[in-house]
Amino acid sequence: MKSIFLCNKKSNVEKVYADSFDKLNIGKKVYTYTDVIAEPDAFAEVEYVFSTWGMPAMSEEEIKRCFPNLKCVFYAAGSVQAFARPFLHCGVKVFSAWAANAVPVVEYTLAQIILANKGFFAHSREMKKGNREAGKVMKASYPGNYGEYVGIIGVGMIGSQVAERLKDYKLGVLAFDPFLSDERAAALGIEKCSLSELFERCRVVTNHMANNEQTKGMLDYSCFSRMLPYSTFINTGRGAQVVEPDLVKLLEERPDVTAILDVTYPEPPAEGHAFYSLPNCFLTPHIAGSLESETHRMAEYIIEEYERFISGEPCLYEVSEKMLETMA
């Protein structure tokens, strides 16, 4: 065996690679961490591992013992933070379909921004209560989608694509990202600013920070308290980046502010959490990323990357250890 599927959730492989098994021509057998550890000699000739959500984390010792000839891990999903470092330390290349998984997150975010600037969430809430007069008054409180500024926290793969797409709507972009160079910001048409300024100037703020120890709890009351009247906070990053009691406090104090949370910490929120009852908080169950047929895009990206690699062509989605410092 030179190529295998390795994943602790076999159903994920069946779903993500559903349209791609024939292209790889390696069969449909999916091995788990338990399979590999139980019979390491059986995998000594493996050179390529294909996986998706459920890729097992392995120690360097386990990798060297079970996969002495492994060259690459091709991961048909987004973040590789949970497993990549030991493989990289063993000289194994890691490729991720983060660009494919970014597409639906960008689409979800863009849709929420456009609706938020129109006051969709507040208006629909009042109209459902039969409060038509309040809806008329609120129309003057929302700016619409021309010439306004949107705040982006984290300008990686997703944040940069959101910025690009917002140009079509004549919306300006402010961004907070310590790793964003002046040259990159200029190329994207982004104005860099501090985190506090971003919350003070933007009607909509959307979070796309990388998920690491440094970003945990970064978004707290000192940020949320600066939000403009009738503004919206969108989180498709990670729930742990938000100090949730601080956001609850702000939403209770400011019914004009709206929060759209696709991620929380934990996921879902604990039973009885204020997020469930606050009328200005809208929850979705981590649906911004690839769903159902959208997952097939990730397999397509990763198989194209594999074909580039074995053909000796330049690859597009290799992950380095340095990149892990700033990637989601």
Task: Give me the tens of pLDDT residue by residue for the chain, a chain 328 residues long.
Answer: 799 999 999 999 999 999 989 899 899 999 999 999 999 999 999 999 999 999 999 999 999 999 999 999 999 998 899 999 999 999 999 999 999 989 999 999 999 999 999 999 998 888 888 887 776 777 888 889 999 999 999 999 899 999 999 999 999 999 999 999 999 999 999 999 999 999 999 999 999 998 888 899 999 999 999 999 999 999 999 999 999 999 999 999 999 999 999 999 999 999 999 999 999 999 999 999 999 999 999 999 999 999 999 999 999 999 999 888 777 7
From the CB of residue 124, how many other CB atoms can be counted at a distance below 10 Å?
13
User: Do the Cβ atoms of 172 and 117 come closer than 8 Å?
Assistant: no
User: Do the Cβ atoms of 117 and 203 come closer than 8 Å?
Assistant: yes
Query: Distance from CA of residue 131 to its chain's centroid?
Result: 36
Q: What pTM did the predictor assign? A: 0.86
Single-letter code of the amino acid located at 88: L
φ, ψ of residue 306 in degrees (nearest 5): -60, -45
φ, ψ of residue 205 in degrees (nearest 5): -120, 130
User: How high is the mean pLDDT of the chain?
Assistant: 94
Helices 98-117 and 157-166, packing angle to 10 deg = 40
User: How is domain 3-96+293-325 classified at the architecture level of CATH?
Assistant: 3-Layer(aba) Sandwich (3.40)
Single-letter code of the amino acid located at 82: A
State pLDDT tens for residues 266-291.
999 999 999 999 999 999 999 999 99
Can 3-96+293-325 and 102-283 be said to share one CATH topology? Answer: yes
Domain boundaries, the chain: 3-96+293-325, 102-283
pLDDT at 197: 98
Spatial distance between the Cα atoms of 8 and 133, rounded to a whole number of angstroms = 54
Sign of CA dihedral 179, 182, 188, 191: positive
Topology of domain 102-283 in CATH is Rossmann fold (3.40.50)
pLDDT at 227: 98
User: Do the Cβ atoms of 210 and 222 come closer than 8 Å?
Assistant: no
User: Do the Cβ atoms of 175 and 159 come closer than 8 Å?
Assistant: yes
Of 105, 53, 104, 61, residue with least CA distance to 79:
53
State pLDDT tens for residues 55-113.
999 999 999 999 999 999 999 998 899 999 999 999 999 999 999 989 999 999 999 99
Q: How many CA atoms lie within 13 A of 55 on its CB side?
A: 25
Spatial distance between the Cα atoms of 316 and 301, rounded to a whole number of angstroms = 10
| Helix boundaries (H) for the chain | 10-16, 21-24, 33-38, 60-66, 84-89, 98-117, 120-128, 132-138, 157-166, 182-188, 195-201, 221-224, 244-253, 274-277, 295-311
Spatial distance between the Cα atoms of 269 and 261, rounded to a whole number of angstroms = 11
